[in-house]
């Protein structure tokens, strides 16, 4: 997509007079800038979440200057529904976006997404990469002055397919080869996009040839060129890795020799006490079997995932350097999140779409100049749906009336605070919606009814291996969690 800024002149003529007046009266000079960094499929395998087996020095530097939110949870562990939720400030049952195909603009017309609210209030707004789920869901000029979404300069899978095809058939430019090459591309892309075995492995591309390298460098160029002019800026940087395919330059794979990886074994028989609907069988596409360890394949995928994480960490370092070089380190709020977590073999699961801790919990770092205390941690529960009202409060913007999230700006001032009483996450299984509620110690989930349920003591069993449903000594806690779930459903509907 070409930059929207080139259309700004005539678009201004179409903006309602109320919006123009709002932009003129906004006290732009007193408001902080915002850099909103959203990763895709990133779990808590980052050093700032306490995972010691990986190197993420850029996130370490951000955390040293801000606050780590260690109990942050998504509202739906799939890209589209999660992003629709935190970009609208609504829970998934309220957005009515419960899959990657639905569009909140059709489901809930009139809802103002986060970047649009900032644009309405005098901010220069820009985005790169995957912010909204895809180009079809992106509102375009109502949200952005500029927006771009790069792809890799080269595709390793298609490069290999082309080489093989031309060795057998001659040039793909030959008229007689065009149809066969299109079919070959389609076949190769299915493998690359994860419909079969998800792709992984090192590339011979440089950082800047990868889509995330290109997206980040566009943000840096906006900062260097002062594209925002006299307005405060709201820039959303969508980082697509470590989403499959797990591709990254070779040097990042070299950081994690497979034989040195720490791979906790999965528990044999883990699924004997878990409702069947809690399982998502995506592990089959990765080449795994239930209750059967495949250490070699697990190490290969984990190495690739970790390589992608360290790759994006390096790109994030460029963003931080760009802020400092342009004098915006002390006037820019930085929010770093993932849209949801990701399984790497825990419970024998691979990928997303579960309600377990590995999938629902996300890394989150917040730095608010003049407010956050450097190097602090917040252990109180927070939800991604709370980001919208929090940013509005921190930037002095009146939030829309529709928001269901609650500002956690209080935890920015006092990270030792308690946070929310519960965190609520849902996920679909066909026509059934699995619903999960967490407190600081317990997690409870229902898959359609209380007869298919889970209860875990996260203090004694953080890996969620022992379902306590049916154990009479926990009946009191079970009833309490059921009550909290009912309240959460009411709050989120």
Catalytic residues: 79, 133
Cα–Cα distance for residue pair 308/87, rounded to 1 Å: 25
CA angle centred on 117, ends 111 and 122, rounded to 5°: 155
- CA end-to-end distance (rounded Å), the chain: 35
3-state DSSP of the chain: CCCHHHHHHHHHCCCCHHHHHHHHHCCHHHCCEEEEEEECCCCCCCHHHCCCCCCCHHHHHHHHHCEEECCEECCCCCHHHHHHHHHHCCCHHHHCCCCCCCCHHHHCCCCCCHHHHHHHCCCEEEEECCCCCCCCCCCHHHCCCEEECCCCCCCHHHHHHHHHHHHHHCCCCCHHHHHHHHHHHHHHHHHHCCCCCCCEEEECCCHHHCHHHHHHHHHHHHHHHCCCCCCCEEEEEEECCCCCCEEEEHHHHCCCCHHHCCCCCCCCCHHHHCCHHHCCHHHHCCCCECCECCHHHHHHHHHHHHHHHHHHHHHHHHHHHHHHHCCCCCCEEEEEEECCCCEECHHHCEECCCCCHHHHEECEEEECCCCCCCCEEECCEEEHHHHHHHHHHHHCCCCCCCCCCCCCHHHHHCCCCCEECCEEEEEEECCEEEEEEECCCEEEEEECCCCCEEEEECCCCCCCCCCCCCCHHHHHHHHHHHHHHHHHHHHHC
Strand 124-128 versus strand 146-148 pairing type: parallel
Q: What is the distance between the alpha carbons of residues 78 and 154, in angstroms, rounded to a whole number? A: 27
- State the Cα–Cα distance between residues 258 and 234, nearest whole angstrom: 40
């Amino acid at each position: 997509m070409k930059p929207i800024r080139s259309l700004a002149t005539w678009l201004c003529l179409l903006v309602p007079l109320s919006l123009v007046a709002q932009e003129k009266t906004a006290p732009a000079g007193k408001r902080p800038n915002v850099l909103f960094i959203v990763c895709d499929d990133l779990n808590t395998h980052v050093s700032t979440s306490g995972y010691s087996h990986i190197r993420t020095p850029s996130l370490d530097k951000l955390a040293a200057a801000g606050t780590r939110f260690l109990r942050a949870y998504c509202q739906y562990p799939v890209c589209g529904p999660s992003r629709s939720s935190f970009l609208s400030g609504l829970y998934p049952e309220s957005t009515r976006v419960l899959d990657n195909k639905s569009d909140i603009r059709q489901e809930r017309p009139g809802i103002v997404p986060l970047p649009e609210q900032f644009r309405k209030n005098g901010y220069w707004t820009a985005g790169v990469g995957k912010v909204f789920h895809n180009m079809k869901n992106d509102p375009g000029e109502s949200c952005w002055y500029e927006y771009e979404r790069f792809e890799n300069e080269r595709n390793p899978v298609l490069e290999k397919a082309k080489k093989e095809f031309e060795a057998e058939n001659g040039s793909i430019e030959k008229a007689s080869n065009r149809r066969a090459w299109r079919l070959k591309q389609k076949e190769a892309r299915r493998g690359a996009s994860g419909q079969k075995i998800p792709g992984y492995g090192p590339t011979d591309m440089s950082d800047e040839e990868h889509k995330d390298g290109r997206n980040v460098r566009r943000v840096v160029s906006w900062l260097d060129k002062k594209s925002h002019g006299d307005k405060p800026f709201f820039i959303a940087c969508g980082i697509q890795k470590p989403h499959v395919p797990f591709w990254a330059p070779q040097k990042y794979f070299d950081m994690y020799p497979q034989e040195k990886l720490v791979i906790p074994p999965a528990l044999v028989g883990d699924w004997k006490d878990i409702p069947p609907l809690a399982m998502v069988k995506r592990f089959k596409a990765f080449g795994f079997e239930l209750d059967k360890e495949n250490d070699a394949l697990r190490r290969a995928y984990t190495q690739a995932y970790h390589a992608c994480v360290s790759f994006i960490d390096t790109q994030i370092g460029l963003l931080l350097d760009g802020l400092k070089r342009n004098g915006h380190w002390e006037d820019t709020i930085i929010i770093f999140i993932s849209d949801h977590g990701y399984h790497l073999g825990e419970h024998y699961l691979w990928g997303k779409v579960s309600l377990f801790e590995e999938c629902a919990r996300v890394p989150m770092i917040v730095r608010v100049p003049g407010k956050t205390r450097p190097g602090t941690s917040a252990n109180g529960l927070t939800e991604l749906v709370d980001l919208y009202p929090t940013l509005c409060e921190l930037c002095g913007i009146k939030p829309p009336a529709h928001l269901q999230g609650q500002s956690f700006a209080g935890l920015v001032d006092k990270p030792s605070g308690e946070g929310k009483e519960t965190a609520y996450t849902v996920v679909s299984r066909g026509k059934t919606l699995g619903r999960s509620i967490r407190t600081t110690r317990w997690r409870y989930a229902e898959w359609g009814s209380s007869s298919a349920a889970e209860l875990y003591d996260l203090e004694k069993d953080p890996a969620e291996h022992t379902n306590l449903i049916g154990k009479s000594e926990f009946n009191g806690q079970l009833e309490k969690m059921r009550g909290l779930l009912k309240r959460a459903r009411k709050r989120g509907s």
